């Protein structure tokens, strides 16, 4: 986690760095700091807590003169979120300041070695070893020094460095943590994510693992581990600044919920040509596809639940067995995966450590990996054999919404694309499903239109001790994500249960007025879920049912109802999740929670 920024130019650096850090705060928000160089002298300011505190003590950066600097926002791993542990860290001679995103795995050994050599440590972080190594190896050539230092490191890093002996310059290095160079006019930048750059420039260079960078106001040199310059193509960011701003909404989460019809359209439209789904990015032949014996979907958090929701369509339409496995489990399970397995990896950020590790494990076993990812140029996108971007635009709220729906949408489209290639879907069925795919944005909008009713329901449920989400099959998959949304941002205890499993334990927890949110959008098994509704009602539960208006039996049993647009269960998850996202949002709002930055969480989990 953590976000880093760097600036070199002809204007005051600190306000630019603070502006960038605010955009990266979703990556970590327990402490922050800046280091600025002015006339060859480094000054550092650090705070525990939010970037707002850093703005306050530096008067929005105005008390820190200098045109070169680096900044950091932290999600603590090694050491508590105190001022001492906040970055930047300074070398003992005051010559170097560094910011770091990642984990240095061999820091204990390095710390012992450096302590023996007389360096003293001011923090408990793994990062601090890097700055002392810089001091130890520096003999006047920063490029060589940086290479020497990273050769001593094991782990992951996006590193930003300034050195008092190198006026006008910022240095960076990347290994397994995101880092992007921004190219400006008379100024250049680096940041962990393009969102921190777009207010200054749209021209960027995505750094690769093993790359180093030396930036001045008018030059950018990327070099490799032998100090040789490497040619890199620049890319243009094609979304505008407003995409990463709240735009009048109280929270990014609400804005992103509301953006889902457009986001799903951005996912689907470019891949629909003449009534057919075409993934140009998947260069896989029908023969290769026919050789696939199973598909394994792996991911973390909501991305994993997106996999759970999409697997039904994938299995049903392709006829290929589909397994879902949490990336954190798969990576250590010595899975039965070989060259006849297609692994689908899902990740909004493309930087989740467990997901990347699982993906590497699967590739090592000979499987081809298809990645469904939102962030362009991210590690997952780079490592995959086939990369399908969701094109959801920047997602800032820690709790994902449009990230999830666009991931599920890609799985639906892949199901049809593969089924057609394999000749396992009739023309009539294909056309029927195609109509449903093109109508998804409209149906999502209809689900969003329930917002006023959901707002009222949140007032009823927000004081609950615990909420249970039940459903079967595709409805169960949605229940998992609905419950996760609720706990992530409202801190209420929320559990999802396969409705049929209730009687094997959880029903013991149902008391008078316990809310049970029953998902009943799968017509084939609605009757079965109805019997579970009756069981929990008999024990005093308050039931909120999501179903169709014509479902008379459920209408008479449930206490509250939310009516869903009429859709076939095969593609219903992306619509059904909307009222649950809204419910979590409004419950959290009622309870005064910090919705975009929930406690203890971070959006991009780059640690194991």
Catalytic residues: 2, 603
Q: Which of 79, 24, 34 is CA-nearest to residue 57?
A: 34
Closer CB to ligand G6P, 78 or 487, in the complex:
487
Closer CB to ligand G6P, 406 or 529, in the complex:
406
Distance of alpha carbon 160 from alpha carbon 607, whole angstroms:
19
Instruction: State which residue has the least CB distance to ligand G6P.
Output: 301
Would you count residue 603 as binding ligand G6P (CB under 6 A)? Answer: yes
* The binder of ligand G6P chosen from 400, 406, 551, 606 (CB under 6 A): 400
Q: Please list, in sequence order, all residues whose beta carbon lies within 8 angstroms of the beta carbon of residue 419, skipping any fewer than 6 positions away.
A: 317, 318, 319, 425, 430
Stretch 319-348: interaction string toward ligand G6P, x if CB under 6 A: ----------------------------xx
Distance of alpha carbon 36 from alpha carbon 209, whole angstroms:
26
Give the nearest distance from C-beta 516 to ligand G6P in angstroms: 24
Give the nearest distance from C-beta 474 to ligand G6P in angstroms: 19
Would you count residue 399 as binding ligand G6P (CB under 6 A)? Answer: yes
Closer CB to ligand G6P, 176 or 601, in the complex:
601
* The binder of ligand G6P chosen from 85, 267, 352, 379 (CB under 6 A): 352
Closer CB to ligand G6P, 125 or 349, in the complex:
349
* DSSP secondary structure, 499-515, as one string: GGGGGGTGGGG--TT-E
Q: Which of 85, 86, 79 is CA-nearest to residue 51?
A: 86
Q: How far, in whole angstroms, is CA 330 from its chain's centroid?
A: 19
How many C-beta atoms surround the C-beta of residue 151 within 10 A?
Answer: 10
Percent composition of the chain: helix, strand, coil (DSSP 3-state, to 5):
40, 25, 35
Applying CB under 6 A, which part among 85-93, 392-400, 519-527, 529-537 lies near ligand G6P? 392-400
Give the nearest distance from C-beta 399 to ligand G6P in angstroms: 6
**Are the beta carbons of 402 and 263 closer than 8 angstroms?**
yes
Give the nearest distance from C-beta 401 to ligand G6P in angstroms: 9
Would you count residue 295 as binding ligand G6P (CB under 6 A)? Answer: no
* DSSP secondary structure, 107-173, as one string: HHHHHHHHHHTT----SS-STHHHHHHHHHH-SS-HHHHHHHHHHT--EEEEEEEEETTSTT-EEEE
Structure tokens, 144: 């060589």
Give the interface size with ligand G6P as a residue count (CB under 6 A): 16
Distance of alpha carbon 482 from alpha carbon 568, whole angstroms:
19
Applying CB under 6 A, which part among 160-168, 457-465, 524-532, 597-605 lies near ligand G6P? 597-605
Give the nearest distance from C-beta 74 to ligand G6P in angstroms: 16
* The binder of ligand G6P chosen from 398, 416, 437, 573 (CB under 6 A): 398
Give the nearest distance from C-beta 386 to ligand G6P in angstroms: 17
CA-only gyration radius of the chain, Å: 25
Closer CB to ligand G6P, 347 or 387, in the complex:
347
Distance of alpha carbon 93 from alpha carbon 90, whole angstroms:
8
Closer CB to ligand G6P, 328 or 529, in the complex:
328
* The binder of ligand G6P chosen from 61, 301, 393, 471 (CB under 6 A): 301
Closer CB to ligand G6P, 150 or 371, in the complex:
371
Closer CB to ligand G6P, 188 or 378, in the complex:
378
Would you count residue 607 as binding ligand G6P (CB under 6 A)? Answer: no
Would you count residue 302 as binding ligand G6P (CB under 6 A)? Answer: yes
Distance of alpha carbon 409 from alpha carbon 388, whole angstroms:
12
Collapse the DSSP code of 261 into the 3-class scheme (helix H, G, I; strand E, B; otherwise coil) and give the result.
helix
Applying CB under 6 A, which part among 149-157, 209-217, 299-307, 492-500 lies near ligand G6P? 299-307
Distances (CA, A) of 470 to 143, 467, 527: 57, 10, 13
Applying CB under 6 A, which part among 215-223, 243-251, 317-325, 598-606 lies near ligand G6P? 598-606
Kindly tell me the burial class for residue 581, based on how many C-beta atoms sit within 10 Å of its own C-beta (0-12, 13-18, 19 or more).
buried
Q: How far, in whole angstroms, is CA 528 from its chain's centroid?
A: 35
Would you count residue 601 as binding ligand G6P (CB under 6 A)? Answer: yes
Q: Which of 346, 418, 343 is CA-nearest to residue 385?
A: 343
Which 559-588 residues touch ligand G6P, going by CB under 6 A? none
Distance of alpha carbon 424 from alpha carbon 303, whole angstroms:
27
Give the nearest distance from C-beta 143 to ligand G6P in angstroms: 33
**Are the beta carbons of 135 and 119 closer than 8 angstroms?**
yes
Give the nearest distance from C-beta 390 to ligand G6P in angstroms: 10
Give the nearest distance from C-beta 351 to ligand G6P in angstroms: 7
Give the binding site for ligand G6P (CB under 6 A).
300-303, 347-349, 352, 355, 398-400, 601, 603-605
């Amino acid at each position: 986690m953590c976000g880093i920024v760097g600036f070199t130019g002809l204007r005051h650096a600190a306000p630019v760095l603070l502006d960038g850090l605010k955009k990266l705060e979703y990556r970590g928000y327990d402490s922050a700091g800046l280091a600025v160089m002015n006339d060859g002298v480094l000054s550092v300011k650090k705070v525990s807590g939010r970037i707002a505190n850093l703005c306050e003590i530096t008067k929005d950066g105005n008390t820190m003169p200098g045109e070169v600097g680096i900044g950091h926002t932290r999600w603590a791993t090694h050491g508590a979120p105190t001022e001492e542990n906040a970055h930047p860290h300074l070398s003992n001679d005051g010559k170097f300041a560094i910011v770091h995103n990642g984990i240095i795995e061999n820091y204990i050994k390095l710390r012992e070695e450096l302590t023996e050599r007389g360096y003293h440590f001011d923090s408990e972080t793994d990062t601090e070893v890097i700055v002392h190594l810089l001091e130890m190896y520096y003999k006047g050539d920063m490029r060589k020094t940086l290479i020497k230092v990273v050769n001593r490191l094991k782990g992951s890093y996006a590193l930003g460095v300034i050195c008092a002996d190198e006026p006008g310059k910022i240095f960076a290095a990347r290994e397994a943590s995101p880092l992007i160079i921004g190219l400006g006019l008379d100024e250049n930048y680096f940041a962990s994510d393009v969102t921190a750059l777009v207010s200054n420039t749209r021209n960027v260079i995505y750094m690769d693992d093993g790359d180093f960078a030396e930036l001045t106001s008018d030059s950018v040199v990327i070099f490799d581990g032998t100090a040789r310059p490497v040619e890199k193509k620049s890319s243009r960011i094609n979304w505008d600044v407003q995409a990463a701003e709240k735009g009048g909404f109280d929270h990014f989460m609400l804005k992103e919920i509301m953006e889902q019809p457009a986001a799903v359209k951005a996912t689907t439209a470019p891949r629909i040509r003449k009534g057919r789904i075409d993934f140009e990015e998947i260069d896989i032949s029908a023969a290769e596809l026919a050789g696939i014996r199973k598909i394994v979907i792996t991911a973390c958090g909501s991305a994993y639940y997106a996999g759970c929701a999409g697997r039904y369509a994938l299995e049903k339409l392709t006829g290929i067995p589909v397994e879902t496995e949490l990336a954190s489990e798969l990576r250590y399970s010595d899975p039965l995966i070989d060259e006849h397995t297609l692994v689908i990896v899902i990740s909004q950020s493309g930087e989740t450590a467990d997901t990347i590790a699982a993906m590497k494990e699967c590739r090592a076993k000979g499987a081809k990996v298809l990645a469904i990812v939102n962030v362009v140029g991210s590690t997952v996108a780079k490592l995959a054999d086939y990369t399908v971007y969701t094109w959801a635009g920047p997602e800032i709220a820690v709790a994902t919404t449009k990230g999830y729906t666009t991931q599920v949408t890609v799985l639906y489209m892949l199901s049809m694309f593969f089924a057609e290639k394999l000749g396992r879907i009739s023309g009539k069925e294909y056309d029927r499903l195609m109509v449903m795919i093109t109508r998804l944005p409209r149906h999502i909008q209809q689900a969003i239109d329930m917002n006023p009713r959901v707002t009222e329901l949140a007032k009823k449920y927000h004081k609950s001790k615990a909420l249970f989400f039940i459903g079967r099959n595709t409805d169960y998959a949605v229940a998992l994500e609905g419950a996760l949304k609720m706990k992530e941002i409202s801190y209420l205890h929320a559990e999802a249960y396969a409705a049929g499993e209730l009687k094997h334990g959880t029903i013991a927890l149902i008391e008078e007025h316990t809310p049970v949110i029953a998902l009943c959008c799968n017509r084939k098994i609605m009757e079965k879920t109805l019997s579970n509704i009756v069981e929990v009602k008999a024990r005093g539960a308050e039931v909120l049912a999501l179903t169709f208006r014509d479902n008379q039996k459920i209408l008479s049993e449930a206490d509250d109802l939310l009516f869903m647009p009429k859709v076939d269960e095969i593609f219903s998850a992306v619509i059904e999740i909307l009222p649950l996202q809204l419910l979590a949002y409004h419950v959290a709002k009622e309870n005064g929670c910090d919705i975009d930055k929930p406690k203890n969480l971070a959006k991009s989990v780059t640690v194991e």
